[in-house]
């Protein structure tokens, strides 16, 4: 199980407990430390599949309800048009993987950058 979430666990252990080599710890201690991580730690969020922490989810839901109530009082709301976009949906939207680019030199990067911003 560690292998699947190792990177997140390493970051959390380093940030929370200043443990930089978890392999030196006894297994029982490691298990206790990982189970003691906060609910919004990287490893726990990854394991549960959560995209955003629970407190942010709650705040987004409150915001969405408030904007919807305000919208209902407008002319658009009475006609049921131009409904506000839900913040929760925007926060949890599955984004496409960004394209990762690598360059062999600084000049190669400069050419790609110039092309991306509409230069030469």
Residue 112 pLDDT greater than 70, yes or no: yes
pLDDT at 17: 95
Tell me the per-residue pLDDT of 62-106, one tens digit each, with 9 for 90 and over: 999 999 999 999 999 999 999 999 999 888 886 656 677 888 999
**CA–CA distance, 74 with 79 (Å, rounded to integer):** 9
Residue 102: φ, ψ to 5°: -125, 145
Q: What is the pLDDT of residues 15-49, one digit of tens each?
A: 999 999 999 999 999 999 999 999 899 999 988 88
Identify the pLDDT of residue 75.
Answer: 95
**Predicted pLDDT at 117:** 86
């Amino acid at each position: 199980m560690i292998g699947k979430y190792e990177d997140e666990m390493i970051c959390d252990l380093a940030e929370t407990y200043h443990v930089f080599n978890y392999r030196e710890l006894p297994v029982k201690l490691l298990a206790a430390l990982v189970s003691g991580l906060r609910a919004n730690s990287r490893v726990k969020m990854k394991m549960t599949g959560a995209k955003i922490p629970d407190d942010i989810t709650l705040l987004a839901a409150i915001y969405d309800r408030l904007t919807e109530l305000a919208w209902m009082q407008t002319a658009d709301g009475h006609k049921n048009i131009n409904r506000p976009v839900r913040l929760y949906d925007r926060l949890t939207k599955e984004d496409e993987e960004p394209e990762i680019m690598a360059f062999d030199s600084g000049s190669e990067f400069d050419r790609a950058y110039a092309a991306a911003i509409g230069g030469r």
